[in-house]
Amino acid sequence: MAELPVDATKFAGMSEEQAKTFPRRTLVGDPLSDAQLATMPKMISTDSHVMEPDELWQELPKRLSEKLPNVPFRNSPPGALDANLRLEDQNNDGVAAEILFPNYGMALYGIDDVELQEEGFKLYNDWLTDWCAPDPKRLVGTPLISVYDPKAAVKELHRSIDKGLRGAVIWQVPDPQLPFSNTEHYDPIFAACAEADQPVICHILTGHGYMKTGHKRNVEGIKDSTNTKTHDSANTLFDMIFYGYFERHPKLKLLLAESEIGWIPFLLQQWDYYFARHRDSYPIPINRKPSEIFAEHVYGTFLEDFVGTRSLSWWGEKNCMWSNDYPHFNMTFPHSRQVVERQLKDLSGDQRRRYTWDNAMDLFKLDLTEEDRVH
- Across 19-41, average pLDDT: 75
- Tell me the three state secondary structure of residue 32: coil
Rounded-to-integer distance, Cα 233 and Cα 264, Å: 10
- Across 154-172, average pLDDT: 98
pLDDT of residue 2 exceeding 70, the answer is no
**How sure is the predictor about 47, in pLDDT bands with cuts at 50, 70 and 90?**
very high
CATH number, domain containing residue 261: 3.20.20.140
- Across 58-87, average pLDDT: 89
Amino acid in position 254: L
pLDDT of residue 1 exceeding 50, the answer is no
**How sure is the predictor about 75, in pLDDT bands with cuts at 50, 70 and 90?**
confident
Q: How many domains does the chain have?
A: 1
49 forms bridges with which residues in the sheet? 101
**How sure is the predictor about 261, in pLDDT bands with cuts at 50, 70 and 90?**
very high
Domain boundaries, position 14:
2-374
* 212 or 302, which is more confident: 302
**In contact, 91 and 42? CB cutoff 8 Å:** no
* Cβ burial 338-356 (10 Å sphere, 16+ → b, else e): bbbbbbbeebeeebbebbb
Contacts 24+ apart (CB under 8 A), 313-318: 313/346, 313/347, 313/351, 315/265, 316/261, 316/264, 316/265, 317/351, 317/354, 318/354, 318/359, 318/362
**In contact, 75 and 21? CB cutoff 8 Å:** yes
**How sure is the predictor about 324, in pLDDT bands with cuts at 50, 70 and 90?**
very high
pLDDT at 31: 79
**In contact, 189 and 147? CB cutoff 8 Å:** yes
Mean pLDDT value across the chain: 92
CA 342 to centroid of chain Cα atoms: 22
CA distances, 32 to each of 62, 106, 338, 357 (Å): 52, 35, 6, 21
pLDDT of residue 74 exceeding 80, the answer is no
Rounded-to-integer distance, Cα 89 and Cα 333, Å: 8
Amino acid in position 145: I
Rounded-to-integer distance, Cα 157 and Cα 198, Å: 9
Predicted TM-score (pTM) of this structure: 0.95
pLDDT tens digits, residue range 51-61? 999 899 999 99
Half-sphere exposure of 66 (CA within 13 A, CB side): 3
Give me the count of residues in the chain: 375
CA 41 to centroid of chain Cα atoms: 22
